[in-house]
Chain A
Amino acid sequence: MAYRFRYTGDYYVSPTGDDSNSGTSPDAPFATIQAAMDAKGNTTTATTIVIGTGIYYEAVSTINTSNSNTNLTIQGDGVVIINGEGISDDTTNCALGNGGSTLRGTIINDITITNWHNAILDPNGGGNVYFAYFNRCKFINIFDVKRSDGNVIYYNDCIFVKSNFYYGSSNNGARYIRCKFFKSVINANDPYGSTDQRTTNSPYNAGYFGAEMSDCLFANPFDNEEYIAINFHKWNHNQTHGIIFTNNVFSAECTINSTKNSYRAGTRWGADITERNDVTHPFTQSAQEFVDELNTYGTWLAWDGEPGPLPQSITLGSKGKYLSKVINWNGSELTGSSNLENTFGTPYTINFNNDSYYEAAEHPPTRVLAYEHPAYGYGTINTGSNPFHTTGGATWENIIETGSGFTLSSSAIPSGTIESAVIDQGISRTIQDVQFNWSADSSTNSSAISYYTGSQGGPGTLYTYQMRYGDSSDLSSNEYKIFPLNETPYLDTNESGSGDINFITGSQNSVKGRYLQFKLTLRTDWNG
């Protein structure tokens, strides 16, 4: 079946494609990411490669070996996983950046990289990074090696699960912004740079670049053990270079350690750390409680407020204790599916609503996740009951209901509208993410995922996700607005929703309200 792409680009990739295709049309995608990379070749013309939902077992080279900006965007379209299982080794390959290739200036969006020794740049392959941007990516079970060649990488809104990464490498620092680290270790190997240049340098002008970690969350939901969340292996450059380390949240089992000389009087970054000693320790629950909560609700509820008044200083000194204990990478964890099961708690499969580890954990069939930025609040609202179930007050139109939830009949092309009951969050909250877990049988499941159209030979199910909200329980006069499913709801510049599932917002206005109501419209083809 052809995969229905949401994004447009210069090249398309799908597991159901073929490398003998042109790759330039959504109807004729390549089967491998590498084919698209090679088709792009060494050109520095702006190029977008769109990768469709699926698991890709391949080590990718960006082929561009020049010292110029690749001008390349790699866009995941759906749940896209580059899996090193059966491929990854510790010295000669990685997920992205094999064989001397560079990721300089490459933008990688919405990709999951899992089961690799090395996520970015193979250890012996040469090549460099220099200002690569990972946005909304996930790194699961990665043991990333040190590469000392300008790892100026931006990680924005990324999730790291059981992975080791580097905070800074030699003369350039990585930037982790709004990232979540779940039993993952950041190894800060002598990061230094210039906070001044951090804001003034041209994005593609590599130079001393200050490392940054801001608004990140560290937690260990997998076991009850303490672990070292950040390791400052070496941090002793006598440079007037700064790092930013602010507004990060650490759960109880996560600690920070410095293993070598960490402070030299007069260095600016040392002063920065002193001034920015705002690491908080807000969780009041034990690690086990944390895990229990995760298993029950799929995420945690404990904290939904301002950061606690418990500043925890980072121990820095010339005789910093050697307490480093990185997560030992175990090669056996890369074999079979057991690792993924261990990581996610349940066997990991590609499905409609499974794009992060906690979503795959056990949780009620339908829930609403609402949380704010870690620096301002964090928590989850579980609806407690399925708001799309008729007994919960939902209204139905032309939907065949079976079982206890929302089930599509195998004998009918689903269409119609489902309107949920009004959901009371208790207080007004910023809506960060709204997730629905759909259930569909085998004959319609694929169509629900791929938006297969009737004209392409199969039944089609295109859904439109609408939400209305407010601080009054009576939402009847509020306008339903259209948002992308499983993405952060934002309002456009007119503060209204428009368009379709591909609705692209024009601003970053957050959606906030106490009461929520959802409406899903299923249609039989892409064009409605």
Chain B
Amino acid sequence: MAIYTLPNSASWDDSLDFADQSEEAQEFWNNLIGSITPTSIYEPTSNPNLDRLTSQTWLDTSYSGSYNYQVIITREYQNSPTHQRAFAIRTTHTLLNILDK
């Protein structure tokens, strides 16, 4: 368990769920997602024109402090890539990482 000060001065307690963090802390991560193009990984499906997304990673190295900030969102699907309902998502998982530079 650790408490960080995010670049926008918000406090981030990594023992708390995202929804329980401060508004400013949530905004920091939301802005990170909204301002950086993620690295996306896809897998093929039966649709020749549409692969399905398995994960996206955002990495922000722009800050001069000790940390980089990373968001990884993965999708968990209900069915195989060739299924008629291949794109039906069961859930998504979000990892918010504060990484040493």
Which residues in A have some Cβ–Cβ distance to B below 8 Å? Answer: 18-22, 30-32, 34-35, 38-39, 57-61, 63, 65-67, 87, 89, 91-93, 98-100, 102, 122-128, 145-149, 170-171
Query: Which residue from chain A places its CB closest to the CB of B50 in the assembled complex?
Result: A39
B48 to chain A, nearest CB (A): 8
* A149 and B27 form a contact (CB under 8 A): yes
* A34 and B56 form a contact (CB under 8 A): no
Query: What residues of chain A lie closer than 8 Å to B101, measured between beta carbons?
Result: none
* A128 and B30 form a contact (CB under 8 A): yes
Q: A39-B49, A126-B26 are in contact. List 7 more A-B contacts (CB 8 A).
A: A58-B90, A61-B89, A65-B56, A91-B17, A100-B56, A126-B33, A148-B22
* A19 and B92 form a contact (CB under 8 A): no
Query: What residues of chain A lie closer than 8 Å to B30, measured between beta carbons?
Result: 100, 126-128, 149
Q: Verify if B15 is at the interface (C-beta below 8 Å from A).
A: no
Please report the C-alpha to C-alpha distance between residue A61 and residue B38 in the assembled complex, in whole angstroms. Answer: 15
Please report the C-alpha to C-alpha distance between residue A218 and residue B85 in the assembled complex, in whole angstroms. Answer: 38
Within 8 A of A (CB), among B46-101: 46-47, 49-50, 52-53, 56, 71, 73, 75, 78, 83-94, 96
Within 8 A of A (CB), among B7-45: 17-19, 22-23, 26-27, 29-31, 33-35, 38, 45
Query: What residues of chain B lie closer than 8 Å to A93, measured between beta carbons?
Result: 89-92
Please report the C-alpha to C-alpha distance between residue A31 and residue B47 in the assembled complex, in whole angstroms. Answer: 12
Query: What residues of chain B lie closer than 8 Å to A60, measured between beta carbons?
Result: 89
With known contacts A61-B89, A98-B89, A126–B53 Cβ distance under 8 A = no
Query: What residues of chain A lie closer than 8 Å to B33, measured between beta carbons?
Result: 65, 100, 126-127
* B94 and A126 form a contact (CB under 8 A): yes
Please report the C-alpha to C-alpha distance between residue A99 and residue B18 in the assembled complex, in whole angstroms. Answer: 12
With known contacts A19-B46, A126-B30, A126-B71, A58–B91 Cβ distance under 8 A = no
8 Å CB contact of B90 from A22, A59, A91, A123: A59
Query: What residues of chain B lie closer than 8 Å to A57, measured between beta carbons?
Result: 78, 88
B95 to chain A, nearest CB (A): 9
Subset of 12 A-B contacts with CB under 8 Å: A19-B47, A19-B87, A32-B85, A58-B85, A61-B89, A63-B53, A93-B91, A99-B92, A100-B73, A124-B94, A148-B19, A148-B26
8 Å CB contact of A147 from B19, B50, B90: B19
* B73 and A125 form a contact (CB under 8 A): yes
* B34 and A38 form a contact (CB under 8 A): no
* B88 and A102 form a contact (CB under 8 A): no
Which residues in B have some Cβ–Cβ distance to A below 8 Å? Answer: 17-19, 22-23, 26-27, 29-31, 33-35, 38, 45-47, 49-50, 52-53, 56, 71, 73, 75, 78, 83-94, 96
8 Å CB contact of A19 from B17, B23, B26, B86: B86
With known contacts A19-B87, A123-B19, A65–B34 Cβ distance under 8 A = yes
Number of A-B contacts (CB under 8 A): 134
A305 to chain B, nearest CB (A): 43
* B92 and A92 form a contact (CB under 8 A): yes
A42 to chain B, nearest CB (A): 9
Query: What residues of chain A lie closer than 8 Å to B17, measured between beta carbons?
Result: 91, 123-124
Please report the C-alpha to C-alpha distance between residue A68 and residue B53 in the assembled complex, in whole angstroms. Answer: 21
Which 5 pairs show the lowest CB-CB distances between chains A and B? A99-B92, A67-B34, A35-B87, A20-B46, A34-B87
Query: Which residue from chain A places its CB closest to the CB of B28 in the assembled complex?
Result: A126
With known contacts A19-B86, A31-B84, A38-B87, A126–B18 Cβ distance under 8 A = yes
With known contacts A32-B88, A123-B18, A124-B94, A22–B49 Cβ distance under 8 A = yes
Query: What residues of chain B lie closer than 8 Å to A21, measured between beta carbons?
Result: 47
Please report the C-alpha to C-alpha distance between residue A87 and residue B26 in the assembled complex, in whole angstroms. Answer: 25
8 Å CB contact of B86 from A35, A87, A92: A35
* B26 and A149 form a contact (CB under 8 A): yes
Please report the C-alpha to C-alpha distance between residue A100 and residue B78 in the assembled complex, in whole angstroms. Answer: 19
Query: Which residue from chain A places its CB closest to the CB of B95 in the assembled complex?
Result: A124
* B84 and A20 form a contact (CB under 8 A): yes
A120 to chain B, nearest CB (A): 12
Query: What residues of chain A lie closer than 8 Å to B94, measured between beta carbons?
Result: 92, 99-100, 122, 124-126
8 Å CB contact of B92 from A18, A61, A171: A61
* A34 and B88 form a contact (CB under 8 A): yes
* A66 and B34 form a contact (CB under 8 A): yes
Please report the C-alpha to C-alpha distance between residue A93 and residue B18 in the assembled complex, in whole angstroms. Answer: 13
With known contacts A65-B38, A127-B33, A98–B91 Cβ distance under 8 A = yes
A13 to chain B, nearest CB (A): 10
* A58 and B88 form a contact (CB under 8 A): yes
Please report the C-alpha to C-alpha distance between residue A509 and residue B29 in the assembled complex, in whole angstroms. Answer: 46
With known contacts A91-B17, A128-B30, A148-B23, A18–B56 Cβ distance under 8 A = no
Query: What residues of chain A lie closer than 8 Å to B89, measured between beta carbons?
Result: 34, 58-61, 93, 98
Query: What residues of chain B lie closer than 8 Å to A128, measured between beta carbons?
Result: 30, 34
Query: What residues of chain B lie closer than 8 Å to A61, measured between beta carbons?
Result: 75, 89, 92
Which residue among B29, B86, B89, B90 has the maximum number of chain A CB atoms within 10 Å of its CB? B89
8 Å CB contact of A170 from B23, B50, B78, B92: B23
Query: Which residue from chain A places its CB closest to the CB of B48 in the assembled complex?
Result: A20
A24 to chain B, nearest CB (A): 10
* B84 and A102 form a contact (CB under 8 A): no
Query: What residues of chain A lie closer than 8 Å to B47, measured between beta carbons?
Result: 19-21, 35
* A18 and B34 form a contact (CB under 8 A): no
Query: Which residue from chain A places its CB closest to the CB of B52 in the assembled complex?
Result: A38
Please report the C-alpha to C-alpha distance between residue A66 and residue B35 in the assembled complex, in whole angstroms. Answer: 6
* A87 and B91 form a contact (CB under 8 A): yes
Query: What residues of chain A lie closer than 8 Å to B56, measured between beta carbons?
Result: 65, 99-100
B74 to chain A, nearest CB (A): 8
